[in-house]
Chain A
C-alpha cells in the first residue's frame, strides 16, 4: 500500500509522537486502563496506522464486492441492490400459536420465516414422550408429526417466502415434513426455498443437542446435501453455525475458527461420499453471532469470507464462484443480554446489528430485550425488528458497500483474525480433525476456558457491563412477559393422539421398517423419511428407529 520511504517516515514520526506528545499527556492524565481489550480479551493498541497494515495488498486481500476473495461482500452491489433478509426467529407453544406469530411478523414487514422448535422436538421426542415432561413449547414450537407441520404453515405462502428452521439432530426428518406438507398443498419441492440448520458438529462442540454419535450424524448431514443438490436446488441444506459456539463462551476467533473448521469437515465428508464440490458447496450457508465489540465483529465477518473463498478455491478446487461465497445469517448475541435493566438490551442489540450489517450479512435476527427473562413478547419483537429497519433506512450505512474498508484498525484486525484462525486450523489438524478433536474434548475445553475468563474479567471489573458491574440500579424489571396458553399442551397431545388413531398403522410400520433398513445400509435416508412422515409416522417414532440403529452419544467431561 505504501512505499518504503513513506513507511519509514511514518515509523519515525510515530515514535516521536509516543515519545513527546503521548508521554507528556500520560503524565498529566494517565489512560483509564493499563490494557484495553476487546470482548474476546484481545488487547487493542492505542493507535493504528499504515504501519499495522504494511504487507496489505488491496487487490489480493480485499478486491471488489462480488469478486474473489469477497472480503468486501459476496454480492456485487450489496445492500444497494437488496437489503438483507430480516428474519426473526420465532416459535413457542402449539403450531397454532406460532402460526399466528408468523402471520403477525409477515404483516409487519418481515421477509422470511425462522422457526424455533421446542426441546423435545430438537431431541427427536414427541410431545407425549416421558422425556418431554415439562418441556412442551417452552423454547419453540412442538412438531411431532406432519399434522403439526401442516398447521404451522397453514395459510402461509411457502412457495413465496423462505423458511429457516433451527433444527439439528433430527433436521432431515423435520425437513422431510416441510417438503411433505408443501407437496400436499401442491407446491413442488423444487420451488421450496429456505434453510435447515442441520449443523451437528457444533452441537457436539457447544449446544449439546445431539442424538447419535458423530459418524452416523455426519452421514445424515451428507444425505441431505446429496438429496438437496438433486431435488431442492433453492434450499440451503446446512447453516454452519458459530452462533452457539459463541454463546457457549467462545471468543470471536474461536467462533470463526471452529465454525470454518466444521464447514471444511462437511465439505470433506461430502467429497468422500463422491459428491462434486460445485454441486453442493453453493448451498452451504453460515450463521454467526454478533457480539458487543463493534470492530472485532466486523473484522470477523470479513475474515470469514476471505478464508472460506481461499479454502474452497485453493484447497478443494471449486470452480463455481458461488462455491467460494460465504453467505451468512447473523443473530445478535443472546448471551450479551442482561436481565438487569432489560431496556438497555435494545441498545446493545442495535450496535450488534449494525456490526452485522457493516460486516455484510445476508440475513439478520435481532434479539428482543426481554429474552434474558423469558420468551419475547410481541412488542419486544417489534422493537427488535424496527431496529433493523432503522439501520436499513435511516442510518445511511447501506448507501455504499463495505464503508469501513481501509480503516487501519479494521484491516489490521481482519488480518489478525485470519492468522489466528489458521493457527486453530493447524491445532485441529494435529488432533486428527474435527471429530477427533470433539472426542478429545478440545473444543469444549477451549470454550470452558474462555467463558471462565470472561466471567472473571467482569467480576474483577476489568470489563464493564452496564447494569451488571457498574451503573447498577435496584429497580425490578417492568417488562410485560409473554404468557403461554396453558391449554396448548393438551391441544397438542390431542392432535397427536388423533394422528396415531386415524393413520394407517400398517403404512407406518412399513415405512419405519424401510427407514431402519436404509439406516443399517448405505442408502440415502431422505426419501424414506419423506415416505414415513407422509404416512404420519411421528418424529419420535422415526428417531427411535435411528437411535436403535445408530446408538447414542455421551460427551467427554471437560472443564
Chain B
C-alpha cells in the first residue's frame, strides 16, 4: 500500500513538471521504515497543488506561507505545486548569510533588507535555526532582530528549523527559496544556522555568500576556518564597534593574501556595525557588485549549472535513501546490524547487499 503511494507520487511529480520525486525528509524522530498510513490515505490532488501555485503567483501571502509549510512537512501537494512554480523561478538574487552563532547575522539581514527596500526591491527572508536533536522541536528566534520589517508588505520572512539536516540549512530551504522567488521577491536573504562549521551547503544554494565574523569570538587566525575563504564571496567583520575588530580584519586580510587568486572575484572585507546600521550601504553595494560580476563574467550561467547539479544530486541521494528506508524490513535490518556489531559481517558488504536487493 505504502509503496504504491510512493510510486504514484513520483509519477505525478514527473507528469507535472521536470522535477524529480520529492524526497521524504528524514526527521530525527521518524523511525526507519515507519508505516505511514495517514499519508497513504491522502490523495495528492493536483487541483489543490495548482490552486496553491496560482495563489503564490497571484501574490497571496497566505498561499506562500502555506506552501512552504507543505514543503517542510513533505506533504504530497508540495511537489506538483513546486513543479508548476519552477518556470517562474530564477529571477531572484539569493544571498546567503552565514557565520558563527551570535555574530549578528539576523541583525545584519534585517538591516540589509531595509536597505534593499529603500532601493525599491522586494525582499524575502529565510532564517534557519537548529532543531533540537532530542525532541525534534525548535525555538526560532531570528525574527526578533527583524521586528520592524514585519509590517512591510514588501517583505516576507519565514523561520525554519533544520529538522535533522546538518549543513546549516534545512532540507526544505532550497524549495522555500523557490517559492519566494516565484512569489516575485527581488532579493532573498538566507540566514543559516550559526554552526560555525563548514557552511558549504549555503554556498551550494546562494548566488552570493556572505560570511560574517565578529571580534571576540576567537580573533586569532587559527579560529577562522580556512574553509570560509572557499565559500565566501564577501567577508563581513560585524560588531566593528567592539574591541579587536581591527585584529579580525587583519587576520582575514592575511588569509586572503596567502590564498590569493590571480584572477576572478576577490572577496572584499567589509566592516559593519549592524545594530547601528553602519557599513550596510557598503555591504549592499558589494552584493550588487558581485551580482554584476556573475553576469558580466559569465559565471552566472556556470553557477546556475552548478547549483542545478548540486540540487539534482541532493534530491537523488535523499530520495534513494528514503525509498530504501521505506522498503527495508525492520527485522532484516536489525539482523544485519547485529551481524555487523558481532563482526560476522562487515558494513560495506551489508550495505551493498541491501542496496542491491532494493534496486534489484
Interfacial residues, chain A to chain B (CB-CB below 8 A): 432, 440-441, 551, 554-557, 559
Contact = CB atoms under 8 A, between A and B. Distances in A.
A559 B102 contact: no
A554 B148 CA distance: 12
B292 interface: no
A556 B102 contact: yes
Contacts of A441: 102
A551 B102 contact: no
Contact of B139 (A554, A555, A559): A559
Given A554-B147, A557-B141, A557-B145, 14 more contacts: A432-B216, A440-B102, A441-B102, A551-B276, A554-B144, A554-B145, A554-B275, A555-B144, A556-B102, A557-B106, A557-B142, A557-B144, A559-B139, A559-B141
Contacts of B141: 557, 559
Contacts of A440: 102
Contacts of B276: 551
Q: Among B145, B275, B276, which residue has the most Cβ atoms of chain A within 10 A?
A: B275
Contacts of A555: 144
Task: Summarize B's interface: helix, strand, loop or mixed.
Answer: helix
Contacts of B275: 554
A555 B145 CA distance: 9
Nearest to A557: B141
Contacts of A557: 106, 141-142, 144-145
Nearest to B142: A557
Interface in B17-68: none
A551 B144 CA distance: 17
Contacts of A556: 102
Interface in B117-156: 139, 141-142, 144-145, 147
A185 B216 CA distance: 54
11 contacts: A432-B216, A440-B102, A441-B102, A551-B276, A554-B145, A554-B275, A557-B106, A557-B141, A557-B144, A557-B145, A559-B139
A554 B144 CA distance: 8
Interface in B268-311: 275-276
Contacts of A432: 216
B184 to A, nearest CB: 29
Q: Among A440, A441, A554, which residue has the most Cβ atoms of chain B within 10 A?
A: A554
Nearest to B138: A559
A492 to B, nearest CB: 29
A441 B145 CA distance: 14
A551 B241 CA distance: 15
A552 to B, nearest CB: 10
Q: Among A440, A556, A557, which residue has the most Cβ atoms of chain B within 10 A?
A: A557
**7 smallest beta-carbon distances between A and B, as pairs:** A557-B141, A557-B144, A559-B139, A554-B144, A554-B145, A440-B102, A556-B102
B244 to A, nearest CB: 11
Contacts of B102: 440-441, 556
Nearest to B243: A432
A429 to B, nearest CB: 15
A133 to B, nearest CB: 16
A556 B145 CA distance: 8
Contacts of B145: 554, 557
